[in-house]
Amino acid sequence: MPYQISWYVEQRVLRINIIGKIDIDEFERLHTESFSFVETSSNKVHAIVDLSQFEALPTNLRMLTSATSEEKSHNQGMTILVMPNMNGVLRFLCSVVMQTLRLEYRVCETNEQAVEILNRVDPNLRELSFIDTPLT
């Protein structure tokens, strides 16, 4: 499986790692699975998506947009894309996907920056101990 999803902070912050190439069916499963994580929480759920080992996304934009629900969860918070050394084409494709999903997102280069962004966006997370916990 080219992705892993887990709670980084239970019911508050999702951790998604995408590894290697992901095809359209896997992308659709990733979207469905992450959506169900968000829906099961009673809190606003943010996500850190680590693309540091990501290689390729299907380039057919029509297929990508049709593989995802246009509905956004009321619990959906900020999505942080960790994209170190990402080439321009992949950065553009990721941007199109995020806009199509109507998700509020930011792009950064390191996991540490992702945590800093979430702490600025959601002051309630400062109460949690994940600030000093390294992302792996």
Per-residue pLDDT at 133 exceeds 90: no
Burial 98-116 (b: 16+ CB within 10 A, else e): beebebebbbbeebeebbe
pLDDT in tens, 19-40: 988 888 888 888 889 989 999 9
Domain annotation covers residue 70:
yes
Domain annotation covers residue 44:
yes
CB-based burial label for 26 (10 Å; 0-12, 13-18, 19+): middle
Average pLDDT on 38-67 reads 80
Domain annotation covers residue 135:
no
Query: Confidence band (pLDDT; 50, 70, 90) for 131?
Result: very low
Q: Which domain holds residue 40?
A: 3-128
Domain annotation covers residue 133:
no
Nearest C-alpha neighbor of 50 from the set 109, 127, 121: 109
- 39: Cβ contacts below 8 Å, ≥ 6 apart: 73, 75
CATH of the domain at 52: 3.30.750.24
pLDDT in tens, 57-105: 666 666 666 666 556 778 889 999 998 876 777 778 778 777 877 788 8
And the tokens for 39?
Answer: 């829906």
And the tokens for 131?
Answer: 């600030």
Rounded to whole angstroms, how far apart are CA atoms 70 and 67? 9
pLDDT value, residue 129: 47
Domain annotation covers residue 50:
yes
pLDDT value, residue 66: 64
Q: Considering its fold, how many domains does the chain have in total?
A: 1
Contact 53, 86 (CB under 8 A): no
| pTM of the full structure | 0.83
DSSP state of 102: T
Domain annotation covers residue 20:
yes
